[in-house]
Amino acid sequence: MRRSMVLTGLAAAVLGLLYLTGCGDKVTPPKDIVAKNPETELTYAPLPGDTTTFRVHFYWNGYDKDGEVMTFSFAVDEDTLKPVGDWPTTTSKDTTLLFLVDPVKEVRQHVFKVASRDNDGHWDPTPATRFFSAKTLPPTSLIKRGPAAFNPIVGPNFTFEWSGLDPDGGETGGRAPVDSFEYLLLQIGAVADTMNPPTHPPLPTYSQIEYTKMINDATGHCLLPPYDDWCWQGIRGLRKRFRNVTPGPYVFAIPEAYFCDRLDRGVRAALTRTRNALSAAGHEIRTVAIDHAVRTPDVYLHICLPEASWYHAPLLETHADRYSPGVRLRLEMGRYILAEDYVRALHLRVVLSEAVDRALLGCDALLLPTQPIPAPILGEVSVDVDGAREPVRAAMLRLTQLFNITGHPAIAVPAGTTDDGWPVSVQLVGHLAGTSRLIQVAALVERYSTGGDGSVGGGTG
């Protein structure tokens, strides 16, 4: 017993000595604890590089190993280049975003980033990121009420009604009606520029193909230059009433060379009256030349005679006696036109057609006499044209046969009478495939050529 007490005391003395020798300047404090940044992950989002609809719902979560996540900040597209502290902040773990879609490609690439922030104010230095594309189906629109297409006469007051449908604009991505629209009312030959003088050219002469392309290409707020003074007008609703709309002036071109060289005095007077009346009303009158017009009779004969001869060949073989002598003679002549002359005439027809197109550039229609003479007396073989005798048939074809072979639409409108009381007319020639537009122009011209309501479109003629 005594021995164990001695051993116990000795052990305690040794431990005390060790304690005293271990305490001193060699004691080191613990190292500082380094705070850890939070981490962020997207729990639900479009797959990387995938294409989704324009309405996207994002879900995310955050973790902090030495604290807790307090808020989140997110950014889209260009805003992701800003500092994280400038991004919108939320305590929520999801959001729904609507993404703009490229108006031409209907698909546009996007980037979404979200970063968490912990209780120490530290941001996730590597935000969760997702690159993807968004697309949408374009809405459709329908004009339900308004002036008829190519209506030749429209008053200054008219109304349009329409409807629209967005196939994926509903809250759940389904169909939804549209109530926001843009409209564009163009006035051919006019300018929307309010500068004095205008810094933009007037709209070109009407061509359905060109105007359709012009409007389809206008994906911005206005038409493309040089017509960017015409801009889309926004409207909320399904109807627009137009009041006191003033039509723009028309542009007419008179081909004086060849077509106005030899004219009866009464015909020339009718053309001059019509020209002066249109000019006084504010419409523009130009003088143009149609290249190679003097070759028209040769080209006409070498195309029309062989084609007519071929068409009538079966009947001509069996019933030649039933044709009048003059018609039969021309059909017989067509059989002797050489193939090489026919082909050469076809090439010249293209040249003449292009020449007419050039004369029509920037114009609504050509304005010229229909015939160089008034209505001839039935049975006359030749007539006096400006002091020279000319075959009736040649005179009656001279000013119209060019457009018969080129295919440009032409229309004759009454232009009063001569001093002797014989009726005369003026001729309007329009752009290729522009018959409807030409009828609209003719309705206006006849009001000036006759001095009244005219007959085109149901007037008094």
- From the list 72, 75, 128, 71, the residue with the least C-alpha distance to 97 is 75
370 contacts 425 by C-beta, under 8 angstroms? yes
- Which residue segment(s) compose the domain that 162 sits in? 140-242
Residue 392 domain flag: yes
- From the list 314, 299, 294, the residue with the least C-alpha distance to 399 is 294
One domain, residues 402 and 424:
yes
Sign, CA torsion 278/282/283/287: positive
Residue 28 domain flag: no
Choosing from 135, 159, 183, the residue where a domain stops is 135
Residue 53 domain flag: yes
Please report, for the domain that includes residue 353, its CATH number: 3.90.1300.10
One domain, residues 418 and 370:
yes
Residue 32 domain flag: no
Q: At which residue do the structure tokens 């020279």 appear?
A: 388
- From the list 101, 115, 128, the residue with the least C-alpha distance to 46 is 128
Query: Quick one: tokens of 47?
Result: 């797959």
How many Å apart are CA 253 and CA 430, to the nearest integer? 11
- From the list 208, 187, 158, the residue with the least C-alpha distance to 250 is 187
One domain, residues 99 and 155:
no
- From the list 154, 220, 223, 156, the residue with the least C-alpha distance to 193 is 223
Task: Say what the pLDDT of residue 55 is.
Answer: 82
3-state SS string over 172-229?
CCCCEECCEEEECCCCCCCCCCCCCCCCCCCCCCCCHHHHHHHHHCCCCCECCCCCCC
Task: Say what the pLDDT of residue 456 is.
Answer: 45
Residue 24 domain flag: no
Residue 191 domain flag: yes
One domain, residues 235 and 258:
no
Q: At which residue do the structure tokens 């190292």 appear?
A: 31
How many domains does the structure of the chain reveal? 3
One domain, residues 230 and 256:
no
One domain, residues 106 and 172:
no
How many Å apart are CA 349 and CA 346, to the nearest integer? 5
Count CB neighbours of 101 within 10 A.
19
How many Å apart are CA 301 and CA 299, to the nearest integer? 6
Choosing from 242, 269, 298, the residue where a domain stops is 242
190 contacts 248 by C-beta, under 8 angstroms? yes
How many Å apart are CA 412 and CA 438, to the nearest integer? 11
CA 102 to chain centre: 17
One domain, residues 176 and 231:
yes
Q: What residues have CB less than 8 Å from 20, skipping those under 6 apart?
A: none
Give me the helix-helix angle, 296-318 and 325-334, nearest 10°: 110
56 contacts 97 by C-beta, under 8 angstroms? yes
41 contacts 83 by C-beta, under 8 angstroms? no
One domain, residues 157 and 191:
yes
Task: Say what the pLDDT of residue 452 is.
Answer: 57
Q: Between β-strands 251-255 and 284-288, what pairing exists: parallel, antiparallel or unpaired?
A: parallel
Backbone φ and ψ of 82, nearest 5°: -80, 160
pLDDT along the chain (461 residues), means of 10: 52 55 57 82 91 88 92 94 94 88 68 94 94 85 84 72 87 81 84 77 81 87 91 92 79 95 95 93 91 96 95 93 92 94 96 95 92 90 90 94 96 93 94 88 89 48 37
| Paired residues of 114 in beta bridges | 74, 128
Task: Say what the pLDDT of residue 191 is.
Answer: 77
Choosing from 114, 135, 156, the residue where a domain stops is 135
One domain, residues 292 and 429:
yes
Residue 11 domain flag: no
One domain, residues 433 and 286:
yes
Q: What residues have CB less than 8 Å from 203, skipping those under 6 apart?
A: 186, 187, 188, 189, 190, 191, 227, 230, 248
292: left (phi over 0), alpha (psi -120 to 50) or beta: left
One domain, residues 109 and 153:
no
Task: Say what the pLDDT of residue 105 is.
Answer: 59
- Helix then strand count (H, E) for the chain reads 9, 21
Task: Say what the pLDDT of residue 147 is.
Answer: 84
Task: Say what the pLDDT of residue 78 is.
Answer: 92
Residue 6 domain flag: no
One domain, residues 119 and 171:
no
Task: Say what the pLDDT of residue 11 is.
Answer: 55
